[in-house]
Amino acid sequence: MTEIRVRFAPSPTGALHLGGARTAIYNWLFARSTGGKFLLRIEDTDTRRSRTEYVEQIYNSLKWLGLNWDEEPVFQSQRLIAYQQAVRKLLDQGRAYSCFCTPQELEERRSQSGEYKYDGKCRSLGREQVSANFDAGKPAAVRFKIESGVTEWNDLVYDNIRVNHSEIDDFVIQRSNGIPTYQLAVVVDDIYMKISHVIRGEDHISNTPKQILLYQALGEKVPEFAHLPLLMGTDGKRLSKRHGATGVDEYKALGYPSFAVFNYLALLGWVPKDGNEILRPQELIRQFKLSDIARKSAIFDMKKFDWVSNEHIKRTGNEEIYTQILPILFANNLVSAEPDSAMRQYILKFIGLMKSRLRTFRQFADLGSYFFKDPENYEEKAVRKNWKDRDVNKRMEILLEKLKTIEDFSGTAIETAVREIAEKLEISAGKLIHPVRLAVSGYGVGPGIFELLAVIGKERVIRRIEYALKTLPL
């Protein structure tokens, strides 16, 4: 059996977006699930728009997702001679020809005929006329000659696809400046890289018959093709900035776990047979099959994405989360760069309390800062609801005195104290629980209150209640 070799081939004209990342993920999963190779090619022949910083960004995004490639990346900008050699071979075989039509001439003829396809004017030029044109200094593109017939292939997602050659014109394979077009470059590169399977977006289906014809004209084996359904927003339109962040680096900056981003993108067009949607990469490798990819467009739903991310965080060990959030806590001036043993244990308890409620690593700092510093303000909605008058202050003063007497400041002891006072005052426990949460955290909701108070500790809890008694109601 031929070695399975797939490639991901981004253009460094922008940051790696979610659609490209999903294509890379499917290529990587297919390679890893079959014992094949996952390769990377940088398609940078567009020198005007390609940027070195985007190459680095693509590298970093792929590495962050865990998509390691198996050989040195191939750069198209370094392979111009190979493309020109392929063009010369096609010219010598009579499978391609020089076209001297200027863009202006092409536009005029299209306007007159109403046909967008190339009319074949230069196709029948004799050698003498071609030589004369070159001698006169006329620039020439090179077009591939399409003969009558049909090209078909068995797509690994869409099954049999058949295209009549009457739908394809003599397309350009090399521009007049000597730079190859996409159609030629990818074929030459895939031959060079020994690619066995081309897995890419369905927007490339129209390119495939042209590329198959080039493989055949160059005397090379045609790879297998699999075209992936496009990513859409919940409004049914192609995913774009209007739907929110679309770059992988943006989700990294927002603090989403890389394995959650990987997992959710893998589910956009493919569903595991066992129905389990929360999977780490190794589990995805075990279940992944190209034949299971759906044909309909995949919908990127931010709510579903957040659910997947939250599920991952809930299932991730506290120690693993610790390594992820420590730099974030440090960047927000909540902890030192190297916490001592006591602080480390405190952070691990903090993680255990908070992780079931969060969808990103950044939220540990954004929504959990009160574990490390006293609240600077209080959620106004929660104040209006839970600390709206001075009667709350009277109840909280009684609770404060009781909390001061607790020696074993455990969740059980705190709960007992709160419920005893509520019973004595003939009020619901909630009339104490909600104000004390507000005083200690600044928020109206959060982790279980008794565990929360126990973790934060007696000294902090008493200090914060005393400050709230002086400050609230607002």
Burial of residue 3 (number of CB atoms within 10 Å: 0-12, 13-18, 19+): exposed
Q: What are phi and psi of 76, to 5 degrees?
A: -65, -30
- Whether pLDDT at 238 is above 80: yes
pLDDT of residue 246: 86
Which amino acid is located at 75 in the chain?
Answer: F
Measured between alpha carbons, how far is residue 73 from residues 12, 32, 79, 208, 380 in Å? 13, 18, 12, 23, 54
Model pLDDT for residues 94-139, shown as the tens digit of each residue = 999 999 999 999 999 999 988 889 999 999 999 999 999 999 999 9
Task: Please list the residues that pair with 5 across neighbouring strands.
Answer: 37
pLDDT of residue 25: 98
Contact call for residues 184 and 174 (beta carbons, < 8 A): yes
Catalytic residues: 241
- Whether pLDDT at 446 is above 80: yes
pLDDT of residue 1: 56
421 — pLDDT class (breaks 50, 70, 90): very high
Q: Which of 38-42, 112-116, 242-246 has the lowest mean pLDDT?
A: 242-246
Mean pLDDT of 342-358: 98
CATH assignment of 320-471, among 1.10.10.10, 1.10.3720.10, 1.10.10.350, 1.10.10.60: 1.10.10.350
Distance CA(194)–CA(173), nearest Å, equals 21
- Whether pLDDT at 474 is above 90: no
pLDDT of residue 216: 98
Report the relative pairing of strands 141-144 and 96-99 from DSSP bridges. Answer: antiparallel
Mean pLDDT of 427-438: 98
Residue ranges per structural domain of the chain = 80-228, 241-317, 320-471
243 — pLDDT class (breaks 50, 70, 90): confident
pLDDT of residue 113: 86
pLDDT of residue 47: 84
pTM comes to 0.93
**What is the three-class DSSP state of 368?**
coil
Contact call for residues 317 and 181 (beta carbons, < 8 A): no
Q: Please tell me which residue, 372 or 239, carries the higher pLDDT value.
A: 372
Mean pLDDT of 369-383: 96
- Whether pLDDT at 245 is above 80: no
Mean pLDDT of 82-86: 98
User: Please, what is the average pLDDT of the chain?
Assistant: 96
Which amino acid is located at 19 in the chain?
Answer: G
Distance CA(378)–CA(371), nearest Å, equals 15
Decide yes or no: CATH 1.10.1160.10 for domain 241-317.
yes
CATH topology of domain 80-228: Rossmann fold (3.40.50)
Of 126, 133, 105, 117, residue with least CA distance to 168:
117
Q: Which of 76-85, 206-215, 291-300, 398-407 has the lowest mean pLDDT?
A: 291-300
Mean pLDDT of 404-425: 97
239 — pLDDT class (breaks 50, 70, 90): confident
Measured between alpha carbons, how far is residue 58 from residues 265, 332, 335 in Å? 16, 27, 32
